[in-house]
Amino acid sequence: MTFVNKTLEEMLGSNHELVYSLNVTPTINGEILEARSNYWGFITKEQEDELFSLINAKIRTALYEDAEDTLMEIIDNAFNRGNMAFDKPITINLYETNDKIAVQIKDSGSGFDYKTKIAQLNAGEVYFQGHGCGLKRMNNSEWEISYEGNGNTVNVLILKEQKK
């Protein structure tokens, strides 16, 4: 996996299309839900199945289970660390080209100093202290990862055909 300094458009090129979009706000009838430690309480089983079925159908790789775990970690971070107020939405978009897909996850939080955290991770420094599982897991994948804005938008680029 490589952390890259590119926008989503630079990663995908100009010939890509949005094939799926999910906008989730953790409220019911305007009231913030209490299950703050479990983001899947805010995403229905049908939405979860649809998202990962699309990803699975588009990626031909033995790394799919790792892909799902890593993406779940990123989504979890968007809810629990990005949107600490928990009344703000996150957006999950799936884009496609002929040979790759990209998953973009945006939260409404203030972001984080991703450049410093990535440098610490690459230098082998221990900074996690109970956090950082998403970065650590992404570091073990074969994808390109980029951040945009203040670190509140994550782009994950996955080749459709990867070596098994």
In a domain, 110, yes or no: yes
pLDDT at 33: 47
Query: pTM for the complete prediction?
Result: 0.74
Task: Say which CATH number the domain at 46 has.
Answer: 3.30.565.10
Q: What is the pLDDT along the chain (164 residues), one digit of tens a residue?
A: 677 888 889 989 888 999 888 777 665 555 544 444 444 456 666 777 777 777 776 665 545 556 666 777 777 777 766 666 556 778 889 898 988 888 898 888 777 788 887 787 777 766 555 555 556 666 556 678 889 888 889 898 887 775 54
pLDDT at 126: 61
State how many domains the chain has: 1
In terms of residue numbers, what domain contains 144? 2-159
Using the Cα atoms of residue 163, residue 92, residue 75 and residue 50 in order, give the sign of their dihedral: negative
Cα distance between the two ends of the chain = 15
**DSSP state letters, 7-57:** -HHHHH-SS-EEEEEEEE--EETTEEPS-TT-GGGTS-HHHHHHHHHHHHH
pLDDT at 34: 45
In a domain, 164, yes or no: no
